[in-house]
Amino acid sequence: MWKDTSLEVAGGCRRLSKEKEKPPEKNRRRRLPRLTITRIKLPVSVMILSIAETVVYLGRKRKSNRALEKIQKGAEGENSRRHPVDLKGCCENRHSSTGENMHLRHKRTGYLSKVTIFPLSSAILSRSDDTTSLMDHPISGKYVLEELNIRLLVPCNDPLKYASLRAEPDFSVLGKRLGKAMGTVAKEIKAMSQADVLTFEQHGEVTFAGHCLKSTDIKVIREFKRPDNEEKELDAAGDGDVLVILDLHSDEALSDAGVAREVVNRVQKLRKKAGLELTDIVEMYFESLDDNKTKLHHVLNSQEPYIRDTLGSPLLPSFKTQSTAVLLCEEAFHGVCGLSFIIRLARPTLNFNSDAVLALYSGNAKFSEGLQIYLLSRDYHNLKSEFQNGNDKISVDCIDGQPAVDVQLRKHVFLTTGDFYLSTRTD
């Protein structure tokens, strides 16, 4: 490698010196900064979410195992006959990297789907300190509820209502420090009563055999204890500092919510399959393929606010499809919570309040039809922008032979079938 170290000009010539760059010294090691590993205390909401996910897995796994046992014993109930389960398929990949939790969450066929996807009514959070701070936090409480699909998170500040406490020494911390005294101190720690454990948690330290022990030296173990005269179906798990108790009882409302979540999931997957963006507005229609079509209609009607908030527009029955609708895609789904249906996605289309449009022209049906034809011929996005710029009102004075009229949005015309459906629906 040559290095230009001089620019001496002699007779108009440029001379380069033959000085080479010094190569790096061999066997020289770069000294890296020493990393210091410290213990990071996670936020309570993150820690609780991890524990509660484990509890959801345990509870739903237990209920799923009951379903498998019922089918394996040859139960001939209506659900077993109508919703057969492939036991081999249900049990495969049990020890995959995602574990049984993901397997149960995504298994959609047969009786297993009935007991694994439904939301739970409540979870009780038991800690030694105040637990109301989690629910009062504007983000963490809502985040836990949404992630775990639980309706209510209930604080329990009585540490002995759902748990029994015991203390265990942290041998990895105390072993080197106490040496021969470790055996004596360990016995005294294990002999601590529940009242002693609570006092230790309150003060953060305790002294045994002349050794002052901090909260990092002793592990407090919480074991689930069912309260007396408790009839609810409960399951629990924890990490020592937090105990989460799930109410596994299900009712019709929770079942309907579970079905609605599955239908919404299918709609979102179909949107992705069609290559739609999150901002793309489409009309969504469903058609039941079951002999008893009332069940799906009942579920979707009862969960309509949740579906509308999640998808951005209502999921409409197929008979609401307009003749001018342009279909984008459709797909049939079978065996979703025992239901079969078709989901269709279409471009948004205008809907008219015929009586209101007719009143604009004093009952002249020909003028009313001409206005509808004109608006349908307009570019949808341009028409939408005109309504937005005109405070939901535009003036139409360009139709030959017809008087000028002011057309108002959501009175004479609706930009989507969903808007028209919501305006005319009677609960």
User: Percent of the chain, pLDDT > 90?
Assistant: 36
> Is pLDDT above 80 for 304?
yes
> Rounded distance, CA 343 to CA 321, Å?
12
- Residue 252 or residue 55, greater confidence: 252
Residue 86: predicted pLDDT: 40
Residues 321, 325, 328, 331, Cα dihedral to 10°: 20
> Is pLDDT above 70 for 80?
no
- Residue 242 or residue 322, greater confidence: 322
One-letter identity of residue 130: D
How far the first Cα of the chain sits from its last, in Å, is 85
- Residue 211 or residue 6, greater confidence: 211
Q: pLDDT tens digits, residue range 133-173? A: 555 555 566 767 777 778 887 878 787 888 888 899 988 88
| Residue 222 burial (10 A CB sphere; 0-12, 13-18, 19+) | buried
Residues 351, 268, 85, 80, Cα dihedral to 10°: -40
Give the mean pLDDT of 330-338: 91
Residue 340: predicted pLDDT: 94
Q: What is the 3-state secondary structure (H, E, C) of 58-94?
A: HHHHHHHHHHHHHHHCCCCCHHHHHCCCCHHHHHCCC
Residue 134: predicted pLDDT: 55
> Is pLDDT above 70 for 41?
no
The DSSP result for 90-151, as a single string, is HHTTTTSTTHHHHHHHH--SHHHHHHHSS-EEEEEEEESS--HHHHHSTTHHHHHHHHHTEE
Whether the Cβ atoms of residue 284 and residue 311 lie closer than 8 Å to each other: yes
Give the mean pLDDT of 9-28: 47
> Where residue 387 falls among pLDDT bands split at 50, 70, 90?
very high
Structure tokens at 418: 């969903």
Residue 159: predicted pLDDT: 79
Instruction: Kindly report the pTM of this predicted structure.
Output: 0.62
Mean pLDDT of the chain: 75
> Is pLDDT above 80 for 73?
no
Buried b (16+ CB within 10 A) or exposed e, 268-289: eebbeeeebeeeeebbbbbbbe
- Residue 158 or residue 377, greater confidence: 377
Q: pLDDT tens digits, residue range 230-288? A: 777 787 776 666 778 888 777 888 888 889 999 999 999 999 999 998 888 899 999 99
> Rounded distance, CA 384 to CA 378, Å?
10
Whether the Cβ atoms of residue 319 and residue 293 lie closer than 8 Å to each other: no
Distances (CA, A) of 386 to 375, 408, 409: 12, 11, 11
Residue 337: predicted pLDDT: 86
Distances (CA, A) of 113 to 102, 133, 263, 286, 411: 13, 35, 13, 21, 44
User: Percent of the chain, pLDDT > 70?
Assistant: 67
> Rounded distance, CA 348 to CA 38, Å?
56
> Is pLDDT above 90 for 118?
no
> Is pLDDT above 70 for 388?
yes
Residue 204: predicted pLDDT: 86
When mean pLDDT is compared across 93-107, 225-239, 256-270, 297-311, the lowest value belongs to 93-107
> Rounded distance, CA 363 to CA 384, Å?
26
Q: pLDDT tens digits, residue range 348-369? A: 999 999 999 999 999 999 999 9
| Residue 92 burial (10 A CB sphere; 0-12, 13-18, 19+) | exposed
> Rounded distance, CA 244 to CA 56, Å?
10
Could you tell me whether strands 393-396 and 405-408 are parallel, antiparallel, or unpaired per DSSP bridges? antiparallel
Query: Kindly report the CA angle at 189 between 185 and 191, in degrees rounded to 5?
Result: 115
When mean pLDDT is compared across 58-72, 199-213, 325-339, the lowest value belongs to 58-72
Residue 329: predicted pLDDT: 94
The DSSP result for 272-306, as a single string, is HHTT--TT---EEEEEE-SS-THHHHHHHHHTHHH
Residue 58: predicted pLDDT: 52
Instruction: Say how many C-beta atoms besides its own lie within 10 A of residue 52's C-beta.
Output: 23
